[in-house]
């Protein structure tokens, strides 16, 4: 290794440090410290490269530890003047005064800020950092709030107000999650209406927006109307509390919207008032008629990728009737379909898709089966699933106008945009599923997504 040039070593280190999310988790033994202890040369290279130290995560359990402040101070020093990303947990214990002082001094450098907090503490905590304040480098904010059983109202405004002066903000995610004790009564959570325009939030700068928190329909539509640059939108299953006359609300046009995750059957009052003519990627339910209803509003002529979620169990033919799967045949640009595979639902999906194969022109089928051990997963080993995947591929290859080129097996539990699409490993190629798919070699390519370590 002594003969390896510094620039090559740095690229090796960069590859090692950027696996998964690339963050330095304070309180855990990080690869940077381990490799820096190998020799003086490695230590110098690692410690003197600011890009290795620009993404920081402080776990909830580490917030109040005396060692957190000094560790944070050293990491910030090594990151130089680069923009930094901060992931902060605030649920189990508060951040120590020393650590908070150190972190506050770096606020002007934040480019991304993610906080996991509690509803009764987070607003005050953000105030300690001097919010609202202008942060020209801040481009991304993610807020996940745990709502206690004592609080029946979620006020989204108090989590938006701290960032009203962040004119460079491009990505925003707000998520309300209940304590386990309040799960049965979650839908009783109330929310208040607010003046979207009067808040002064920089909606017009956003290109990505994720709403997984209770909001009234009128407010959601007002927000979307203000998001003139929006390219990606997520409407979560805990999103909407309705009651307004949505037919009286003018439609919202989102010509730049390319990706939509519509994961709440109750959000149709919002979706029915949206127009997204250039949508290319849609994630929605495989049941409940959501896709058919969306097609009644907009023809979705540009849609290329359809991701289906949350099949009900036990599943029946009625769930896959004309209101859902058959609607795919009305999508002229559809090239990719993705769905989760399990023993109970896969036979019904396969039967339906194979019957529709002559009317579809798919190039890619993506099967999602989350597993830490793909080689022993049901998808690769279960005889019923193997038979059905083989039948699915064979069905699409048997049509007169054959278009299928790629079958993707996605085993990831946590997805990152940087995860590479790979050829199956040697161990995977020995599983029953891959042995069956070998029969289609030359006609279709099989690739996999594996969880990064």
- Where do the structural domains in the chain lie, given as residue ranges? 280-453
**Six-digit token pair at 49?**
């490269």
Provide the pLDDT for residue 189: 67
Contact 290/263 with Cβ under 8 angstroms? no
For 209, half-sphere exposure in the C-beta direction (CA atoms, 13 angstrom radius) is 27
Count of residues making up the chain: 453
Burial status of residue 246 (CB atoms within 10 A of its CB: 0-12, 13-18, 19 or more): middle
DSSP SS3 for 105? coil
Provide the pLDDT for residue 184: 45
**Six-digit token pair at 246?**
């949505």
208-212 and 232-235 strand pairing: parallel
Q: Give just the sign of the alpha carbon dihedral 203, 205, 207, 210.
A: negative
Provide the pLDDT for residue 119: 74
Provide the pLDDT for residue 1: 66
- Torsion angle, alpha carbons of 273, 278, 281, 286, to 10: 40
Provide the pLDDT for residue 277: 92
DSSP SS3 for 110? strand
Query: pTM for the complete prediction?
Result: 0.88
**Multiple choice CATH, 280-453, 3.30.70, 3.80.10, 3.30.450, 2.60.40:** 3.80.10
Which is nearest to 155 in space by CA: 143, 166, 167? Answer: 143
For 201, half-sphere exposure in the C-beta direction (CA atoms, 13 angstrom radius) is 25
Provide the pLDDT for residue 309: 78
- What are the mean pLDDT values of the chain's consecutive 10-residue runs (453 residues total)? 82 79 80 88 91 88 83 92 90 78 91 86 76 91 82 82 93 84 54 88 96 86 94 76 63 94 76 91 80 85 89 53 73 92 77 89 92 89 91 91 92 76 89 92 91 67
Name the region of 242 (left: φ>0; alpha: ψ -120 to 50; beta: rest): beta
Provide the pLDDT for residue 254: 94
């Amino acid at each position: 290794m002594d003969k390896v040039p510094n620039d090559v070593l740095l690229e090796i280190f960069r590859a090692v440090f950027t696996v998964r999310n690339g963050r330095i988790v304070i309180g855990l033994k990080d690869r940077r410290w381990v490799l820096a202890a190998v020799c003086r040369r490695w230590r110098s290279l690692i410690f003197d490269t600011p890009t290795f130290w620009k993404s920081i995560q402080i776990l909830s359990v580490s917030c109040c530890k005396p060692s957190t402040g000094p560790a944070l101070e050293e990491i910030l020093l090594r990151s130089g003047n680069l923009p930094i990303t901060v992931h902060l947990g605030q649920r189990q214990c508060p951040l120590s005064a020393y650590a908070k002082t150190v972190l506050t001094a770096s606020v002007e450098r934040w480019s991304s800020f993610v906080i996991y907090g509690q509803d009764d503490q987070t607003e005050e905590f953000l105030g300690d950092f001097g919010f609202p304040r202008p942060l020209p480098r801040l481009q991304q904010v993610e807020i996940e709030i745990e709502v206690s059983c004592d609080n029946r109202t979620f006020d989204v405004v108090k989590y938006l107000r701290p960032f009203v002066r962040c004119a460079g903000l491009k990505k925003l995610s707000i998520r309300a999650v209940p304590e386990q004790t309040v799960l049965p009564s979650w839908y009783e959570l109330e929310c208040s209406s607010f003046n979207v325009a009067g808040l002064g939030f920089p909606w017009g700068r956003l290109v990505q927006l994720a709403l997984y928190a209770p909001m009234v329909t009128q407010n959601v539509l007002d927000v979307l109307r203000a998001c003139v640059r929006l390219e990606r939108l997520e409407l979560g299953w805990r999103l909407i509390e309705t009651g307004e006359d949505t037919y009286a609300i003018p439609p919202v046009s989102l010509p730049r919207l390319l990706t939509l995750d519509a994961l709440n059957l109750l959000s149709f009052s919002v979706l029915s008032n949206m127009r997204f003519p250039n949508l290319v990627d849609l994630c929605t339910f495989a049941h409940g008629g959501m896709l058919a209803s969306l097609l009644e509003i907009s023809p979705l002529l540009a849609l290329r990728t359809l991701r289906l979620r949350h099949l009900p169990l036990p599943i029946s033919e009625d769930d896959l009737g004309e209101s859902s799967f058959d609607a795919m045949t009305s999508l002229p640009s559809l090239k990719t379909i993705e769905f989760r595979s399990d023993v109970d639902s896969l036979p019904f999906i396969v039967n339906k898709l194979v019957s529709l194969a002559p009317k579809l022109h798919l190039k890619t089928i993506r099967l999602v089966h989350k597993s830490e051990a793909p080689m022993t997963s049901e998808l690769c080993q279960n005889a019923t699933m193997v038979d059905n995947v083989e039948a699915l591929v064979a069905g699409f290859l048997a049509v007169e106008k054959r278009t299928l080129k790629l079958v993707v097996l996605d085993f990831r539990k946590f997805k990152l945009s940087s995860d590479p699409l790979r050829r199956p490993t040697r161990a995977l190629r020995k599983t029953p599923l891959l042995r069956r798919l070998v029969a289609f070699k030359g006609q279709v390519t099989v690739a996999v997504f594996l969880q990064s370590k």
